[in-house]
Every structure is written in C-alpha cells, then in structure tokens.
Amino acid sequence: MPILRPMNAPAPQAPIGVFDSGIGGLSVLRALQAELPHERFVYLADTGHAPYGERGDAFVIARSHAIAAWLRRAQGIKALVVACNTATAAAVHALRQRHPALIVVGVEPALKPAVAVTRTGRIGVMATRGTLASAKFAQLLQSLQGQAAFALQACDGLADAIEQAAAPGPGAEDKQNALKIEALCARYTSAMGPFGTQTGALDTLVLGCTHYVFAQEVLRRLVGPDVQLVETGAPVARHTRRRLAQAGLLAPDDAPGALRLFSTGDPARLHAAAVRWLQAGVDAAEAVALPTGDSPGCVSPSLGPGPA
C-alpha cells in the first residue's frame, strides 16, 4: 500500500537540512552522505555565532529557530538534522514543537553505544560545557545509572580550535593550530584519568561533540590503540534513513545526490573544510545572513527564493 502524505507535504526530491555551529557537523554530514547517497543536502554552518558550547541555552535556541525557519522557507527541506550536540540538548524539543510536520533528528553523546562495547565499565566523555550541563544529557546519564562509570570532561576551547584549523593557512599558523589542538586534547584526556584495558582504566572514549571527530588522530595517539573511540555520525545517519522511509520521503534510487553549503561566517573556511573532510567534489560555499529570530526578514535577499 502506498504511503499517503498530507497536502503541501515536502516531496521525496526535497533536500535534507543539516546545521551546526560550525564545521563539526560535517562529520555527521559525511555519514549521512554515505548512508543516503541519492539525497540532496543543504548544510549550514553558523560560524558567525560560534561556538555554541560556551553559550547559554536561550542563545542556542534562538539561533536554532532562525536556522530551521530559513532552511524550511528558503530551501524547502523535508527533514532537519541538528548535527550539533549542544544545539540538540538545548533546542531539539523546541524545534519539534514549532515544526511538528517536519522530521527533526538530533544527535547526542553516544553513551549507550559506549556502554555496549566497554569491558572495564569505565568510559570517558568529552563534550562541551553546554552539553554536559543540559537537562537532556542529565536524563541520558540517569538512564544508564549502574551500567558503567562515566568520567565527564568539559572541553572548553577545543571545538573552536578545531574550527580555526579547518582551513589551511600559512605554515606557521597551521602548526600553531595543530599544537593548540594537541595541547587541549592532552589536557582533557589526562584530566579524565588513565586510559587502557587494565582494570579500573577508561577503555572507551565518547566524542560528545561533532567537532571532536576531526581530532581523532590526536586523541588516538594520546589514549592508545586499544581504547575505543565512539561517535554518533553513523547511528544518526541510519536513524535519518528510517525516519524518511517511514514517511515515504526517501529520494528515488536514480537521483544523483547533491550538496549546497552555506555559512554565516567565512564561506571559504567552510568550503576548505568540506573539501578536506568530505573527500568528494564540493561546490563553493555561499554566505548567508541570519539574524536571531525567524521573521521573513531573516532571509538574505541575495540568496533568492530557494534552491535551483
């Protein structure tokens, strides 16, 4: 029996909106593209207002509403993936309430998958201060009480350092950025306690911010080859596929797939990061101005009514 969609519902050919405070959500987008190669994606990096992890909930909620409204109005999205742990924790419930007809998928630190793979029962969690302080994270942690011991670490400055390293610069600047990321990772992993497979050690590390996926090589060197690094991209992509299939909104199997990139900051930085981490042909990113709020005036007139 065919799935019946309400009148004015988006078509399967409509794009999927993905947003983050910056380039970290590209790690989720990469998994989405691998899982859903026939889909059109619109990625928005809110780098003009980053980082979210060290902002208050009210600010993050306002930004999330403005972005969701623009993606619906100007891009005609059929689903929204909030590819940011901080924005998910602060705003995903409000987004679902305001857009009840829209598929809204959030991300959360992968504590449940980590519990499934730990052998020592001790798990490190790296996340932003905003994520760790959120009610949503507290509920997640409470739901796993007694199943493992978690060492929680707020990683101030790490997402921003990864953001700054996204685009190649002069050699000295690149080296300075790399050294800063390494120093921050070393400080935060050391603060959590010993890593390893011996009794009492942390044998699993949750990357609780989408930016941290792009520091995996550094973290691997610091915690050792036997520690499992757990992130959320692939589970989120599989869940998005299930939601689209249930709604009859999967793109046709012969659709070519596409990607448009937008940034509220420097579009060249986003483009450089996408070229580096998506490992595929990527068109230039476009600039967009989205003032806080979601009135029609928030759409930059230079972008026109929507995608071609």
Query: Which residues does the annotation mark as catalytic?
Result: 84, 209
Let me know: does 195 contact 189? Beta carbons within 8 Å.
yes
Taking the C-alpha atoms of residue 148 and residue 65, their distance in angstroms, rounded to an integer, is: 35
**β-sheet bridge partners, residue 44:** 19, 262
Taking the C-alpha atoms of residue 40 and residue 79, their distance in angstroms, rounded to an integer, is: 11
How many of the other CB atoms lie within 10 Å of CB of 35?
Answer: 16
Sign of the CA dihedral 235, 239, 274, 20? negative
Taking the C-alpha atoms of residue 218 and residue 215, their distance in angstroms, rounded to an integer, is: 5
